[in-house]
Amino acid sequence: MKKAIRLSGLIFMALFPLLIPNLGLTQGVIEKRQKLMESNLDALKAIRVGEKEKDYATVQVKAKEIVDNLSKVLDLFPKGSISEKSEAHPAIWDKWDEFSKQSVKARATAEALRKAAEAKDEAQINVQVKAIGGMTSGACGECHLSFNKKRMKKGN
């Protein structure tokens, strides 16, 4: 019995250093995706101001920022990368195809907004700003309401 306990302790001590980097990697990726989402939120705020002020250059630049961010977002959700501080729901990995499609849709919507701003097409800018939405509506909201622990629709 004592040998088994000692052996278990030795195995744990031998493997513990291998666990530390994984914990750090998980927290690092969570922090990166949180910063990316904060960046998207800031960009959306600037887009709404730009839309009101007809500052299409700002709308274009900020929409491009969202497009670029969303091109990286799936890489920031490696399987199981959750923590107490993470708002990611485990359903992301159970429904990866749906999660991926929503990310692609949001990116396409941001790209359509960027093109509308480049063309200075006010009507299309208004349509695309509504289509991209925010954390509770539009293409962004679809994902947040399906996969964000704080915002998920009841029943998910």
pLDDT tens digits, residue range 37-73? 999 999 999 999 999 999 999 999 999 999 999 999 9
CB count in 10 Å sphere of residue 149: 12
pTM of the predicted structure, to 2 decimals = 0.81
Q: How high is the pLDDT of residue 151?
A: 86
Angle formed at CA 43 by CA 68 and CA 89, multiple of 5 degrees: 75
Q: How high is the pLDDT of residue 1?
A: 63
Query: Residue 87: pLDDT above 80?
Result: yes
Mean pLDDT computed over every residue of the chain: 88
Ordered by where they begin, the domains of the chain are 2-147 (1.20.120.10)
Residue 134, beta-bridge partner list: 137
pLDDT tens digits, residue range 90-121? 999 999 999 999 999 999 999 999 999 999 99
Q: Which of 156 and 72 is assigned the larger pLDDT?
A: 72
Q: State residue 117 phi and psi, 5-degree precision.
A: -70, -40
